[in-house]
């Protein structure tokens, strides 16, 4: 099956912000090796309502949130920064379990309590999109935000997932999304961000596969303003078209692989031989798709580096510290945290 793309609704428009408009100038601090961190408690709306911490606070909101390794990742980077620059001595990152119905109130409270920045994870990325006062140009076509920055008028919204993906693919495979043929698996929030990033960076072609045809069609409709139909198409993962390009970058943005019992999101053997396979799933670190890629002798990697780079970019938006400086400390902390789970 091959689906055409049609023009569709574009996500809400509102004031733009530039991605790296920062209030704290870059500095020459050293990233030191911080001591091991104690686990961050899981907080709730009541804790937010009673918030009286005087320092600079950051947070991730999700539901559930217990599994998130963002607090150790960010706090390791912040502890390293604080070792070389006293401005970061009172910065700390917290996690809150916030059900979707409580998200509007939580965002109001976080703003009133002057949290400098917020990350959003499942299921809040799309829900929060309509609750930001300003939206970054790159996040607008995604229709979802994973990073908010405090501003006197309200939240500024960004999406750093695409940057995380592009950076991970460059570092892991030595390849750019620009000029690449991409086969993207999935049509949910992560796939939406990946598709927009691929098209905005100038991929040569994008073929998107998804289990549920209606969800695929909806995504393709939203992508239509970004790409000519010749550059972007959809297909059923059960019936990959014969004319898909060889040497493509296969990116799994489905959640198939989170459980051992999950089916493969696509049969790699049914595709023209890809160049490499990137699975956004990082926990478990080895999925059936990655095992299938290894069996075919294909370069393959899980999503941990994407997680690290989206986090480092979020911290850059809040702090002004270039993502490349904090990513190594975040990567070490993320690996250690996963090792403890
Ligand atoms: P969504 O729930 O929005 O989308 C889920 C997608 O997976 C849909 O396309 C869905 O297809 C598909 N899917 C689910 N189960 C199956 C299955 N059994 N077989 C085939 N397809 C299936 O989730 P997200 O887009 O937010 O996240 C997707 C994955 O990406 C998750 O594993 C998440 O952990 C990972 N991720 C990793 C990040 C990182 O930094 N490494 C960042 C963001 C996400 P259908 O439409 O048919 O339901």
What pLDDT, in 10s, does the model give residues 261-274? Answer: 999 999 999 999 99
Q: In the predicted model, what is the mean pLDDT of residues 86-108?
A: 98
- Does residue 280 line the site of ligand 1, with CB under 6 A? yes
Q: For residue 5, is pLDDT > 60?
A: no
Q: What is the residue with the minimal CA distance to atom 3 of ligand 1?
A: 188
Q: What is the residue with the minimal CA distance to atom 48 of ligand 1?
A: 212
Q: In the predicted model, what is the mean pLDDT of residues 178-184?
A: 98
pLDDT given for residue 326 in this prediction: 98
Catalytic annotation, pick one of 95, 116, 125, 134:
125
- Does residue 177 line the site of ligand 1, with CB under 6 A? no
Q: What is the mean pLDDT of the chain?
A: 90
pLDDT given for residue 3 in this prediction: 39
Q: What CA–CA distance (Å, rounded) separates 207 from 314?
A: 29
Q: In the predicted model, what is the mean pLDDT of residues 41-50?
A: 97
pLDDT over 90 percentage in the chain: 84
- Does residue 62 line the site of ligand 1, with CB under 6 A? no
CB atoms within 10 A of CB 324: 12
CA of 320 to the centre of ligand 1 (A): 31
Q: In the predicted model, what is the mean pLDDT of residues 227-237?
A: 90
Q: In the predicted model, what is the mean pLDDT of residues 208-233?
A: 93
Q: In the predicted model, what is the mean pLDDT of residues 200-219?
A: 97
- Residue pLDDT, tens place only, 107-120: 999 999 999 999 99
Q: In the predicted model, what is the mean pLDDT of residues 28-47?
A: 69
Q: For residue 22, is pLDDT > 50?
A: no
Q: What is the pTM of this model?
A: 0.89
pLDDT given for residue 299 in this prediction: 98
Q: In the predicted model, what is the mean pLDDT of residues 254-266?
A: 95
pLDDT given for residue 37 in this prediction: 55
pLDDT given for residue 149 in this prediction: 98
Closest ligand 1 atom number to CA of residue 191 = 25
CA of 39 to the centre of ligand 1 (A): 27
pLDDT given for residue 95 in this prediction: 97
- Does residue 283 line the site of ligand 1, with CB under 6 A? no
pLDDT given for residue 33 in this prediction: 52
Q: For residue 23, is pLDDT > 60?
A: no
- Residue pLDDT, tens place only, 288-322: 999 999 999 999 999 999 999 999 999 999 999 99
């Amino acid at each position: 099956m091959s689906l055409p793309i049609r023009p569709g609704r574009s996500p809400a428009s509102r004031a733009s912000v530039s991605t790296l408009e920062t209030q704290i100038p870059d500095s020459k601090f050293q990233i030191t090796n911080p001591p091991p961190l104690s686990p961050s408690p899981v907080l709730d709306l009541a804790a937010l309502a009673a918030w009286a911490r005087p320092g600079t606070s950051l947070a991730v909101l999700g539901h559930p949130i217990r599994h998130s390794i963002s607090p150790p990742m960010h706090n390791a980077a912040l502890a390293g920064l604080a070792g070389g620059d006293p401005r970061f001595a009172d910065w700390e990152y917290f996690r809150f379990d916030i059900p979707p119905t409580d998200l509007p109130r939580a965002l109001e409270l976080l703003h009133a309590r002057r949290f400098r920045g917020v990350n959003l994870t499942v299921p809040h990325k799309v829900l929060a999109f309509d609750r930001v006062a300003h939206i970054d140009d790159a996040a607008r076509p995604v229709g979802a935000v994973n990073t908010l920055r405090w501003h006197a008028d309200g939240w500024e919204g960004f999406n750093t997932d695409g940057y995380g993906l592009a950076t991970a693919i460059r570092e892991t495979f030595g390849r750019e999304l620009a000029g690449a043929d991409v086969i993207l698996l999935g049509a949910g929030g992560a796939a939406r961000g990946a598709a927009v990033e691929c098209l905005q960076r100038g991929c040569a072609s994008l073929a998107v596969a998804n289990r549920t045809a209606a969800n695929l069609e909806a995504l393709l409709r939203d992508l239509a303003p970004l790409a000519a139909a010749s550059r972007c198409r959809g297909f059923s993962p059960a019936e990959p078209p014969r004319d898909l390009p060889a040497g493509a970058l296969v990116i799994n943005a489905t959640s198939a692989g989170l459980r051992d019992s999950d089916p493969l999101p696509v049969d790699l053997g049914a595709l023209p031989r890809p160049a490499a396979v990137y699975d956004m799933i990082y926990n478990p670190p080895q999925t059936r798709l990655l095992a299938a890629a290894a069996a075919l002798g294909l370069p393959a990697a899980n999503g941990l580096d994407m997680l690290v780079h989206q986090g480092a970019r979020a911290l850059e938006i809040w702090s002004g510290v270039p993502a490349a400086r904090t990513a190594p400390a975040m990567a070490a902390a993320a690996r250690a945290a996963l090792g403890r789970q």
